[in-house]
Every structure is written in C-alpha cells, then in structure tokens.
Amino acid sequence: MEQQIRERAYHMWRDAGSPMGNPDAFWLAAQREVLAGSLGEIANVKAATSKKAAKAKAPARKRKAA
C-alpha cells in the first residue's frame, strides 16, 4: 500500500507542475485517495458476501403448477 501511495503522490506532484516544497500535502492527499479506494473495495466485498449469504439462507420458492 505504501508503494501505491508513493506512486500516486508522485503523479499528483507531477500533475501540479512539480512544485518545490510541501511534499507532505501530496503524500497526505494520495494517502487519503488510496485508503478511500481500499475501503470502498472492502465495503463492496463485504456487501457482496452479505448478499450471497442472505441468498443462501433464504428458503427456495416453489413454482405454482400452471
């Protein structure tokens, strides 16, 4: 994860025109972005897992004869 943050901070710095000073601002912005993305992935995995578990626990519906 640290490598992802480092790379994202570098790209943000380059996109900003490679300004001198205040590298912490780019690091913290990149860290926030990477962590938010990771948390979003975790939430999606947990939501998908919960849906699958709920579906597995739900009783099967019987079809009515036509």
Residue-wise pLDDT for 36-61, tens only, equals 988 777 666 555 565 555 555 555 55
Please state, in angstroms and rounded to a whole number, the distance separating the CA atoms of residues 66 and 62: 12
Structure tokens, 48: 């998908």
Sorting pLDDT into bands at 50, 70 and 90, what band is 3? very high
Per-domain residue ranges of the chain: 2-41
pTM value is 0.60
Each as own residue / partner, the long-range contacts of residues 3-8 (CB below 8 Å, 24 or more positions apart, any chain) are: 4/34, 5/30, 5/31, 5/34, 6/30, 8/33, 8/34
The answer, yes or no, to whether residue 10 has pLDDT greater than 60, is yes
32 pLDDT exceeds 70? yes
Mean pLDDT for the chain? 80
Greatest CA span in the chain, whole angstroms?
76
